[in-house]
Structure 1
């Protein structure tokens, strides 16, 4: 792979994907997104991997889409290219996905971070949807995920002015999970990943599905979906092990079965 690096043994049960176009501030071109889609599909199929961390570098998680690839396109060109089908596949990742963000997460970079399940940011992180400044608007979920995360008023201001927000503002708005110093943000992401990796991977998968469903349906249907997944877990070995360990006052050893 040319524009990402993948370490599926970054730590026990934790994989790391790093966006790797440093000269372009990790701008998201079609090839990078295709490589990311394929890597996530492979990690989803790897039983040893329970959590995936997605990151860039200290200067930029991703500073946006690769505008050079789009500047001369027509509406029909964009329709035929169908670049967002790749994003749809990334969204379907079953395993918990943590974005570790430092520096710029702008435009497509902000949208990619929001496609992940959780975001750990460094103190230098800046989030924004500045597409309005080049005559377009977010197209990979920015108007939808940002509004759900931070509310209508703040999302509207960010989308219509292109304003960036700091890590502190993002935390206060509910966009991210935690902030760490620049030299410690990857360790903070690993700490979160370790916590999740220690849990039952079967339960984590179904719990992730259920939380995501809350944004896609009304309450009664969401509750029905949650209940079905809850009952399903009683067919797993991890449920038997987890409850038995609780009764026996010991740490459970989950196998993902």
Structure 2
């Protein structure tokens, strides 16, 4: 992949994607295209089972590059919104679990990018912030609501405050808050645990989270049972069951 704004490394079934657009990793159209290229490719690669997304330098991503705001000409804003949505959707829809290692400022679109990931960990000096109301814009409510309680979500959106790692942990918006030095090791430990599991079962589990988010518990569990039935005849499940019986570690293909 030829990329201008991201760096990608793959080892031991784990991909590390680093946002790299100095000085603050602001998101422009090139980055949005790179994000789609990378996550579409990683989602299809058999040698990737989990993904870590982080930022280079002191910022995760300081949001949209305001130098590329769309004009008021007919169609420009509509096309811009489509590009922005696609850069978020490709993370949400990636079949492989994505761990956000939030290393610094995650503001506006950068905050939403982190919230599109499956699991969030943050360093204690990192923060999430939705500053749209401060600059006369709106957006991000739906994504913020997925990770925050209602009062905290409204606090975040309506005040534009910076919410740092320790507070994010208290609010149950992240799974871990670490020192900056321990952040990647923490994310890597989670990614390694995911990579040890049955790849097809992990993909099915992520699909279940996506499909059941807005379903009743009755409909949601019925969908999950259909996933389990489909997995029952898979090579991964056969290997996992054999390894359990033989008291050894499973060896999954890919």
TM-score, normalisation: structure 2: 0.93
Q: Aligned partners of 2:32, 2:147: CA distance in 1, in Å?
A: 23
Query: Contact 1:58/1:182 (CA < 8 Å) preserved in 2?
Result: no
1:171 to 161, 169, 172: 169
CA distance in structure 2 between the partners assigned to 1:211 and 1:145 by the alignment: 15
Judged with a 3 Å threshold, the aligned counterparts in structure 2 of structure 1 residues 34 and 222 are, in CA distance, closer, same or farther, namely same
What residue number does 1:45 align with? 44
User: Is residue 17–residue 54 contact of structure 1 (8 Å, CA) maintained in 2?
Assistant: yes
> What is the aligned-residue RMSD (CA, Å)?
1.6
Question: In structure 1, the residue corresponding to 2:52 is in which secondary structure?
Answer: strand
Residue of structure 2 equivalent to 1:216 = 214
State the 1:221 CA deviation. Answer: 1.8
Aligned to 2:185: 187
2:78 aligns with 79
What does residue 110 of structure 1 align with?
Answer: 111
Question: For the residues of structure 1 that align with 2:134 and 2:73, how far apart are their CA atoms?
Answer: 19
Give structure 1 regions of 4+ aligned residues with deviation exceeding 4 angstroms. 71-75
Aligned to 1:35: 34
Residue 91 of structure 2 contacts residue 98 of structure 2 at CA under 8 Å; is this kept in 1? no
Aligned to 1:16: 16
- Asked if residue 243 in structure 1 is aligned to residue 241 in structure 2, the reply is yes
Match of 1:26 in 2: 25
Matched residue of 1:22: which SS? Answer: coil
TM-score w.r.t. the length of structure 1 is 0.92
Q: Indicate how the Cα distance of structure 1 residues 153 and 75 shifts in structure 2: closer, same or farther if over 3 A, else same.
A: farther
Q: Match of 2:231?
A: 233
Gaps of 5+ in 2: none
How many residues matched?
250
Output aligned runs, 1:119-198, within 5 Å. Answer: 119-138=120-139, 142-198=140-196
Gaps of 5+ in 1: none
| 1:253 has 2:222 as partner | no
* C-alpha distance in structure 2 between counterparts of 1:34 and 1:203, whole Å: 29
Partner residue in 2 for 1:92? 93
Distance 2:105 2:158 in 1: 19
Q: Distance in 2 between matches of 1:162 and 1:62?
A: 16
